[in-house]
Chain A
Amino acid sequence: MLAVLKRQWFIVLVAVLLLSTIIFYVYDKNKDNLPSKSVGGKDIVFSIAETDVSADEFYDELYSRYGMGAVYLFFERAVVEASVEDSAVITTKAEVDKDGVIANFKEYYGTQYETYLIDALKTLGYSKLDDLQEYFEYVYKRQSMMNNYLDAQMDTLFPGFQEVNSPRIVSHVLVTMADPDAPTAEETERFEAAKAALAAGMSFEDMVINHSNDTSNNTMKGLLGYVDKNTSFVPEFLAAALALSEGEVSDWVKTDYGYHLIRVDSLAVDRLKEEQAFYDALLASDVALEANVIWSKAEELGVVINDEALKTELLAYMGIEE
């Protein structure tokens, strides 16, 4: 034996090194492993004071706190997925949002962004980074489903909504001032020029091009978009916008930003429907509306809940009377 070892010393050395490496590898990989435990065929989540708590018991405890929230999340998603087909438009919009979120997470978390993003996705019922695309597709499908329902019910919903909320499409011209109560000479000169142009009969559209300082919407003919009584505008602007009829232009309205000319472009439902904010406002105006949309869609698709108690709980969670 000794003679063999002497003759084959190099091979023996390599074998010993390899064996050591394997042993260390196995030890290193296993040193932080947890033991698993199973009692009576049930996996144990934790034990304390000689008491084992199974995954089933832990599920019951979690369910008593978060169960309905979790069930509803999957329920709503299932209804949406079954109601709305995939489309290239939705896929593209979702991709843009996905890329935006990833960019934001990278900027904020650096190289750890994936971990944080996956953790966030897990709270939404997803498990991996690729699911982010699926999440945004679901968001747009849900939006599409809600919008389609609202379109179908518009004749019923719109009159009451219009009366209460005064929805409209609004544009404006803004002559900016840092402090409208104490304008600078330059600001005063700009305002005087704008007033003179208006008095001389310049059209609203030309006023936007030649005299408006609101760089956020100058290229969109001064369009602010959807406005109703709940829009977060400064009170003076909102009051003036809500008081106008279709096509009417206000007098100069003074706010903290400067002086505005406000025009209501349209009160017509067909024009309002071009703005997603209109659909969002319609949904927000009735707290029960979204839940009712989801449930009515589920019934159309043939929802099956064998456990009557679960069904009662779900409907109560959704605020729907059976």
Chain B
Amino acid sequence: MKKLIVSITLALVLVGCGNQTAAISEPNDVLIKVGNQNITSGQVYGLMVSTDATSVLKQQATQIILNKIVGLSDELKAKADEELVSFTESVGDSLEMYLEYYGYKDAEDYLNNGIIPTLQQEALVKEYITTNFDALVAGYRPKMVRIIEITDATVAETALAELKAGKDFSEVADLYSTSNFPGDEELVNNTSSLPQVVIDYYDYQTTPSLSNVLTDGTTNFIVQVTEADTNKLKDEIIENFAMDTTFMEKTLEYYFVENAFTIYDKPLYDLFVQSYPNYLGK
């Protein structure tokens, strides 16, 4: 009985004890003394955590993942050096101004903390897309299409008739299409920024096809699916998805959870889970 009472009391005492804030080693370290006022590391840390700690935490954790999974091969370093040279040449005398504007101390800082992480992330996203290619294309259904937009419905029917008669799509686009849709071939998927009536047409096409005149009530479209076999488009799809922030986020979410990302500071955790719940597997 006594043991039971002691256990219960201990349990009650320990309620909430897991929710601590991670503290720096020397919070009382005095950085500056003015008159009788001390400014300590702890104060500075507390303010910085309130400023934008979640994005810093995410970036720091991302870099750990990038270093572990992608690393820094000679090839990647060479590519980074090339990009720096190219950037330096393109901005000329304005280099310092650009670096300052983007928050870099110097060119080396930009190389190490700008270019290399970007290339590493691109490699990581491509790795993720390649590994999960079948599942991703099954969900996003990418394909090659060409699109014409014609405001007048009668003219649109004429254009469609010409296409069905065998006229070249580019020619018809040049003759009739608005400048928004020059009829060029482009890789799209079911989340592309296109009119819904266009997406609804091509989303489930599995072979090359030509639509009828599609209308959203305001204007008209003709859509040609030029290639729907994702195996034939694998390289383009990987390149295209790698530039899409949706897939960048999916990649990081996956690797964060896979690598057991855990936050031990309760206030930071509460802030982080609000902004990036998927990174915690929530």
- Chain A interface (Cβ < 8 Å from any Cβ of B): 19, 22-23, 25-26, 29-30, 33-37, 41-51, 53-56, 58-59, 61-63, 65-67, 69-71, 73-75, 78-79, 81-82, 119, 122-123, 125, 127, 298, 301-305, 307, 310, 314
Contact = CB atoms under 8 A, between A and B. Distances in A.
A82 B34 CA distance: 8
Contacts of B217: none
A73 to B, nearest CB: 7
Nearest to B8: A22
A36 B264 contact: yes
A54 to B, nearest CB: 8
Interface string B249-260: 000000010011
Interface residues of B, number: 53
Nearest to B262: A47
Interface string B39-56: 101011111111111001
A69 B47 CA distance: 10
Contact of B50 (A45, A48, A78, A123): A123
Contacts of A67: 44, 48
A70 B48 contact: yes
Contacts of A23: 11
A317 B53 CA distance: 21
B51 A45 contact: no
Interface in B40-84: 41, 43-53, 56-57, 60-61, 64-65, 68
B16 to A, nearest CB: 6
29 contacts: A19-B8, A22-B12, A26-B11, A30-B15, A30-B16, A33-B18, A34-B18, A36-B20, A43-B22, A43-B264, A48-B256, A48-B261, A49-B259, A51-B64, A54-B22, A55-B24, A59-B24, A65-B56, A66-B48, A70-B47, A71-B39, A75-B34, A82-B34, A82-B35, A125-B50, A301-B35, A303-B34, A304-B33, A307-B31
- The 3 A-B pairs with the shortest beta carbon distances in the complex, nearest first, are A33-B18, A82-B35, A78-B37
A227 B263 CA distance: 54
Contacts of A310: 31-32
B246 to A, nearest CB: 22
B127 to A, nearest CB: 15
B266 interface: yes
Given A74-B44, A304-B33, A66 B51 contact: yes
A55 B22 contact: yes
Contacts of B265: 34, 43, 45-46, 55
B25 interface: yes
Nearest to B40: A74
B57 A58 contact: yes
Contacts of B275: none
A304 B36 CA distance: 11
B19 interface: yes
A59 B43 contact: no
B268 interface: yes
Given A42-B25, A43-B23, A70-B44, A36 B51 contact: no
A61 B31 contact: no
A65 B33 CA distance: 23
B247 interface: no
B64 A62 contact: no
A161 to B, nearest CB: 29
B276 interface: no
Contacts of B68: 49, 51
B110 interface: no
Among A44, A62, A67, A75, which residue has the most Cβ atoms of chain B within 10 A? A62
Nearest to A307: B31
A150 to B, nearest CB: 21
Nearest to A123: B50
A48 B22 CA distance: 16
Contact of A62 (B31, B48, B260, B266): B48
Given A47-B260, A74-B44, A303 B32 contact: yes
Nearest to B42: A59
B51 A82 contact: no
Given A22-B11, A43-B22, A75-B39, 12 more contacts: A22-B8, A26-B14, A30-B16, A36-B18, A47-B261, A49-B68, A62-B48, A73-B47, A82-B36, A123-B51, A303-B32, A303-B33
A29 B22 contact: no
Central interface residue in A42, A46, A298, A303, by most chain B CB within 10 Å: A46
A35 to B, nearest CB: 6
